[in-house]
Structure 1
């Protein structure tokens, strides 16, 4: 069997969802140990906080986003998509980046930056080539947003790893992932609600465009005058709440696998509201609450459900969440409670909450990885190739 024919390398979500499970299980626990002093920081070139932020966005986050986009873009433009040697190269580049971030402090500068940029640079170019080359047969006219967003991830990564611009890079990284999640939710929830409840949720082109334009502009929030940033935050939050009210939450919240998507959507709104309060000078919460509402609420809740759906549907199985899938979602809901809510109520135990939340991620993504890996390594059950 040639490399291209091995099931693991047939389509992007297969190797990268396995890597995402490993990253989701290990990286938060490593940070918890570093935060509490139980583990020495990585012998890299950056502060522990820079390492943590980078690895969660560009290690874990881009393993998920890369696997999703490599799979989705080929379906959007109806082509075979990257497979075989191309996927092996990308997966190896992702692993080399993790090694460099942990132990590359003493590497020559050129070697370190090559190891740090080859994965993201390669996958961004590959995705752009797919979208541009097959633009005329693209199923989504608004995919031009990705032509702007994808290169911006490279800029965000470099800023995040800069001592002087770390906060700017963090803000930009969050904004880019927020943009990607909003596009994904807009497309998938429409399909899910139609399939499960036979209802059409609100899709108005002007409203959807206004949301995407606002989100795309807020990627550059760190450079904006405070008044402009505040206005855009209010506009985006208001538009999202208006659309949520017409997206039939009365139905969607009845099914856990759909409810988790709605809760992730609301976490995006909550993060915007916290940013609005910060712009107004209102503070007082414990820790970097706004950032973690997004990473635990949007990423942490939506990603496991999305990985289950894709790994079932794209391996030829019926998309039905069983008890094990619901257990994973329940653990991630608990992680959100422990990391976001309890520190505000019992701030003295802050370090304990970080450890418990990291433990929940370890348990959830280990469980998810054990469940997903066998089907990701095996051929489709319906006889199709990919």
Structure 2
């Protein structure tokens, strides 16, 4: 079968953004029902919390990141990019991983770990091959950070699924996504502000490098002395704030598709400061507050806007957010308030906040998936192949 003849398999973002929307609809609701006892947790190899963290980072998160990087890397190095059977294989491997995480507790160990690692190992190898093979024509000199980030995700995944090293796996996974988001925001906000408002926002190579190096070091936070992690987190947060104030937020907040990027950026700053307080001890929050500030504030706000923007621009459409796209953003803002803010004021209703936040997240990605899927299944409207 010639999969390359189908629009779905022409570019990486097409199948993986559909899978990301499906994961965004299903996974939060399943977790909320597990959390309250309405559904049994997967049995065998990991706790319910491990399942939840893994599925949101490596199920939902990597469907998004995989689709983005498969698309972006080919543009960075000006090559055709993986398509056809390669994408079918990666999408099938992602689906197999979800099956294994749900029902693979009783499988033989070799079969379970094969199902769990084949997608991430496969996509990491393909992305590294692209970046290394065509490095001489790479548009970005700092893509060597991805040579660290991509293999490190495999280590983070294994740590997260180890009961003894779960906390290290979470901090490492979050740190890797944080670094990837900072690189993406640095590149895209510069481009968007130039395109929309014809302004050049602050780009100082030494400052940008210091931010990326600080974020890269915090990938290994779990193995740092606590005080060192506090110092690095605070310094990184201050550098990010300094840059934010010179990135023209007065203009950026005028357009919702840019405003959510700025809010996601601020959520990273807030997560760093909250994490530094937690490392010092003596602070009590309801729920894993620093983690959920990042997952709902950075991932939850930036990802929907990114999916809309890429699905429009890379299918030949004008990148304009309409009323439904703005509705999705507002639902995710509501999810942030319900999951992050309200539990601190009304901790007695924590289970209800978890349920409501899950419903809001699921609803946002259901609307998003309904909007995006027809575009992703159809040819480009401008006549180009991919």
TM-score computed with the length of structure 2 as normaliser: 0.99
Partner of 1:12: 12
CA distance in 2, matches of 1:43, 1:14: 33
CA distance in 2, matches of 1:284, 1:43: 31
Deviation at 1:278, TM superposition (A): 1.3
Partner of 2:177: 177
Partner of 1:235: 235
CA distance in 1, matches of 2:189, 2:297: 17
Partner of 1:112: 112
Partner of 1:381: 381
Deviation at 1:371, TM superposition (A): 0.2
Partner of 2:327: 327
Deviation at 1:44, TM superposition (A): 4.2
Are residues 44 and 375 of structure 1, via their aligned partners in 2, closer, same or farther at CA, if it must alter by over 3 Å? farther
Q: 1:293-330 CA deviation, whole Å, 9 max, x = no partner?
A: 00000000000000000000000000000001000000
CA distance in 1, matches of 2:266, 2:282: 21
Aligned residues: 386
Deviation at 1:2, TM superposition (A): 2.5
CA distance in 2, matches of 1:195, 1:375: 24
After superposing the two structures, state which structure 1 stretch, 275-284 or 137-146, moved more. 275-284
Mapped pair 1:133 → 2:136: no
CA distance in 2, matches of 1:112, 1:15: 24
CA distance in 2, matches of 1:261, 1:353: 25
Alignment of 1:1-386 (within 5 A): 2-386=2-386
CA distance in 2, matches of 1:176, 1:371: 29
CA distance in 2, matches of 1:93, 1:326: 33
User: Retained in 2: the 8 A contact 1:44–1:101?
Assistant: no
Deviation at 1:362, TM superposition (A): 1.1
Deviation at 1:365, TM superposition (A): 0.3
Q: 1:125-164 CA deviation, whole Å, 9 max, x = no partner?
A: 0000000000000000000000011000000000000010
Deviation at 1:280, TM superposition (A): 2.2
CA distance in 2, matches of 1:62, 1:236: 25
Deviation at 1:215, TM superposition (A): 0.2
Consecutive aligned runs of 4 or more in structure 1 exceeding 4 Å deviation: none
Q: Secondary structure at the match of 1:201?
A: coil
Q: 1:258-306 CA deviation, whole Å, 9 max, x = no partner?
A: 1000000000000001011112224121110000000000000000000
CA distance in 2, matches of 1:337, 1:361: 12
CA distance in 2, matches of 1:63, 1:367: 18
CA distance in 1, matches of 2:367, 2:376: 14
